[in-house]
Amino acid sequence: MANNKYDVKDYYCKHTTRCTVEGEKKSKRFVGRNVLKADAEDKVTGEAVYPNDITFEDTLYLKVKRAVHPHAFLKDIDISEAKKVKGVVDIITAEDIPEVRKFGLIIRDQPVLVGIGEKMRYMGDALAVVVAENKEAAIKARDLIKVKVEKLEIITNPFRAMEDDAPDIHPDGNILITHNLDRGDVEAAFAESDIIVEKKYQTQFIDQLPMQNEAGTAFYDEKKGIVNIWAATQWLHDTQADIAQSLRLAKGQVRIIQPTIGGAFGKKEDVSVHIHLAIAAIRTGRPVKFTYTREESMITQSKRHPITIYNKTGVSKDGYLKAWETKFIGDTGAYASSGPAVVHKGMYHATGPYDVANIRGISHAVYTNNTYCGAMRGFGTTQGAFAYESQMDILAEKLEMDPAQFRLQNVYHIGSSTPNGQQLNHSVNAEETIKRVMELSGWKGGQKE
Amino acid sequence: MQITLRVNGEERTLDVTPYTRLLDLIREDLGLTGVKEGCGKGECGACTVIMNGELTASCLVPAPQADGAEILTIEGLAADGKLDPIQESFIEAGAVQCGFCIPGMVLAGKRLLDENPNPNEEDVRYGLSGNICRCTGYAKIIDAVMMAADKLKVEGSVNNGE
């Protein structure tokens, strides 16, 4: 990228073109072979460039003033003392960017900056962006910003959020989305069941905790009208589109350059530093850099959903699953992120690899004032796995059956169909997997010693 | 204040403030960005350097404390463009995924092998216990250190024969 004033470089991944073996057709180069990772050498020598490793000459540093209360109206924000800090170049509040729109992966419900009269909904909400010549000045100024709020009830429990007298976190109410599942005749199947087990399961918040915190650099190329952002994302083109709609730019005016990513596991699907960087880059005309601290990353960016799962399962006395009723209540936190997809995906997988003809379920993704929840490895299904595997063990004990045998006689095979009606016509290895585990572990039939 | 230290064999004299972290001095003043920051609290090992022969979390060291110190970062490990056996082993064992923990892991592995050229798996696990990796599950990282120990044994016997 040529630029008269600043020497900015691209730093995108250069490895895609290096994996060539002469004279071989595409798939034969890799399939069935051991291939050394193309970028491993750069990573063992420290040469690989991650987002936080990029600093251009004359770079400005960003810090964000975040919410002071998990659920409150912003009544006043005073930046006068902060502005006097030596080295502060710009302090951006919502009134400076009236044209900027909300963002979000599925539902655009997340404000770029909370304005006066608007609500902060969790501790990660941004109230102001400080831009300074160095990090120290940015931190000092951020801490001098004074905020007045009108506190509201803090809702940290989705069951409280669903009560009639609970305050609405978002205008459309606290239940973000509800999904239903209904197959077969669940009532009749329960009536025919010999044993019915009904249990409640609770999972917790988990941070994906990639080793690298959210970080990035941006520079606005004024001549071309393009804002360049060097930062990690797992959805490059969705992130580009979301930033563009938020800033009312054409997609072509937002260019994201992916440096090497220091882990993500779902956490980097959401916008983090990107929009604040873009706004600061456009306003100042200088390269800008923003790096989250670990605390900021944990407070601000997504988590795995804590889900409360109710499972009611009916079996015949010879150990066949007859009926399954389930309920998934997911705490999706303050913003939607991937929540609308995660919680109901969990419900669709409520029976895991086990075949149940009659199933009924309901899922609610519920807003609270906790840090928002989104994608993490498994996308809702890991929470369900804890519940259905526990349920299977409890059932096996009641049936006085070997829990492995009980599982074996209920797993999917080729031709089975899942609760949402997907036909499994290709590779179904549940039986083989369980048998192999029994063999490798020297399984003795689950007898207590 | 001014401090003088040797980094990767080169003597450097720098102006620092009393609250500059060694990590920032290395990354920002010396431009050695192979040293990473994961937590800033001495928990994760991403900022590991070898300081005066000891594994050190550079995020916990005030820069003035490094006055007169001898420091090795990941950038100083490959000699004349030739990878150290432990770096080769990390590549060959498939121990590298996102790579963010790898500079610290490699240095922790090197420090272990310097002290104990014949580690068993438990020794390796203990030697790497200050370094967190979130991608690999550690199995291949442990393989890599064991592989490096084997390589160094072979190299050592060749050198002894000369």
Kindly determine whether residue A50 and residue B100, on different chains, have CB atoms separated by under 8 Å.
yes
Kindly state whether residues A322 and A377 are assigned to the same domain.
yes
Kindly state whether residues A335 and A288 are assigned to the same domain.
no
Kindly state whether residues A136 and A162 are assigned to the same domain.
no
Domain borders along chain B are 2-76, 85-157
B102 interaction partners in chain A (CB closer than 8 Å): 43-44
- pLDDT of res. A17: 43
Residue that is last in its domain, among A242, A265, A300: A300
A261 φ/ψ angles, rounded to the nearest 5 degrees? -100, 130
A330 three-class SS: strand
Kindly determine whether residue B38 and residue A49, on different chains, have CB atoms separated by under 8 Å.
no
- The CATH number of whichever domain residue A312 belongs to comes to 3.30.365.10
Decide if A102 is inside a domain. yes
Cα separation, B54 vs B66, in Å, equals 13
All residue ranges of chain A with pLDDT < 50 are: 1-2, 16-21
Q: How many CB atoms lie within 10 A of CB A397?
A: 14
B90 interaction partners in chain A (CB closer than 8 Å): 40, 44
Among the partner residues A46, A209, A262, nearest to B74 by beta-carbon distance: A46
Kindly state whether residues A398 and A310 are assigned to the same domain.
yes
Tell whether A260 is within 8 A of chain B (Cβ): yes
Kindly determine whether residue A210 and residue B134, on different chains, have CB atoms separated by under 8 Å.
yes
Parallel/antiparallel/unpaired status of strands A175-183 and A119-120: unpaired
A335 φ/ψ angles, rounded to the nearest 5 degrees? -135, 160
Decide if A198 is inside a domain. yes
Topology annotation, domain B85-157: DNA polymerase; domain 1 (1.10.150)
Kindly state whether residues A191 and A216 are assigned to the same domain.
no
Is residue A131 within 8 Å of residue A92, measured between CB atoms?
A: yes
Would you say domain B2-76 falls under CATH 3.30.450.40? no
Kindly state whether residues A322 and A385 are assigned to the same domain.
yes
**Could you read off the pLDDT of B42-95 as tens digits, one per residue?**
999 999 999 999 999 999 999 999 999 999 999 999 988 899 999 999 999 999
Cα separation, A151 vs A23, in Å, equals 68
> Per the structure, how many domains does chain A have?
2
For testing the chain A interface, which of B19, B33, B71 should be mutated: the one with the most A CBs within 10 Å? B33
Place of tokens 């300081």: B51
- A12-to-A91, A343, B10 alpha-carbon distances in Å: 30, 35, 30
- pLDDT of res. B162: 40
A47 interaction partners in chain B (CB closer than 8 Å): 34, 75
- pLDDT of res. A445: 81
- Please give the single-letter amino acid code of residue A254: V
- pLDDT of res. A2: 44
Place of tokens 């800090």: A85
- pLDDT of res. B123: 98
**Could you read off the pLDDT of B32-43 as tens digits, one per residue?**
999 999 999 999
Kindly determine whether residue B46 and residue A47, on different chains, have CB atoms separated by under 8 Å.
no
A221 φ/ψ angles, rounded to the nearest 5 degrees? -85, 100
Secondary structure element (H or E) that encloses residue A408, with its range: helix A403-408
Kindly determine whether residue B32 and residue A260, on different chains, have CB atoms separated by under 8 Å.
no
**Over residues B23-29, mean pLDDT:** 97
Kindly state whether residues A394 and A311 are assigned to the same domain.
yes
CA A407, A409, A412, A413 dihedral sign is positive
Range of the domain at A75: 57-152+208-300
- pLDDT of res. B79: 83
Kindly state whether residues A238 and A340 are assigned to the same domain.
no
Cα separation, A362 vs A344, in Å, equals 8
Kindly state whether residues A352 and A230 are assigned to the same domain.
no
Residue that is last in its domain, among A277, A300, A323: A300
Residue of A nearest to B86 (CA): A44
Kindly state whether residues A192 and A222 are assigned to the same domain.
no
Residue of B nearest to A38 (CA): B91
Count CA within 13 A, CB hemisphere, residue A114: 28
> Residue A18 corresponds to which tokens in the numbers above?
């290096």
- pLDDT of res. A92: 98
Decide if A93 is inside a domain. yes
- pLDDT of res. B97: 96
Decide if A11 is inside a domain. no
Kindly determine whether residue A263 and residue B73, on different chains, have CB atoms separated by under 8 Å.
no
H, E, C per residue of chain B? CEEEEEECCEEEEEECCCCCEHHHHHHHHCCCCCCCCCCCCCCCCCCEEEECCEEEEHHHCEHHHHCCCEEECHHHCCECCECCHHHHHHHHCCCCCCCCCHHHHHHHHHHHHHHCCCCCHHHHHHHCCCCCCCCCCCHHHHHHHHHHHHHHHHHHHHHHHC
Kindly state whether residues A202 and A213 are assigned to the same domain.
no
**Could you read off the pLDDT of A22-52 as tens digits, one per residue?**
556 666 767 787 888 889 999 999 999 999 9
Kindly state whether residues A286 and A416 are assigned to the same domain.
no
Decide if A36 is inside a domain. no
pLDDT at B16 over 80: yes
- pLDDT of res. A23: 54
Interface residues of chain B, partner chain A, Cβ below 8 Å: 27-28, 32-41, 44, 46, 73-75, 77-78, 83, 87, 90-92, 94, 96-103, 106, 132-135
Phi/psi zone of residue B36: left (φ > 0), alpha (ψ -120 to 50 degrees), beta? beta
- pLDDT of res. A26: 64
**Could you read off the pLDDT of B91-125 as tens digits, one per residue?**
999 999 999 999 999 999 999 999 999 999 999 99
Cα separation, A252 vs A290, in Å, equals 23
Count of CB contacts below 8 A, A vs B?
A: 97
A230 interaction partners in chain B (CB closer than 8 Å): none
- The CATH number of whichever domain residue A82 belongs to comes to 3.90.1170.50
Cα separation, A424 vs A110, in Å, equals 38
CA distance A169 to chain B (A): 32
- Please give the single-letter amino acid code of residue A62: L
A40 interaction partners in chain B (CB closer than 8 Å): 90-91, 96, 99
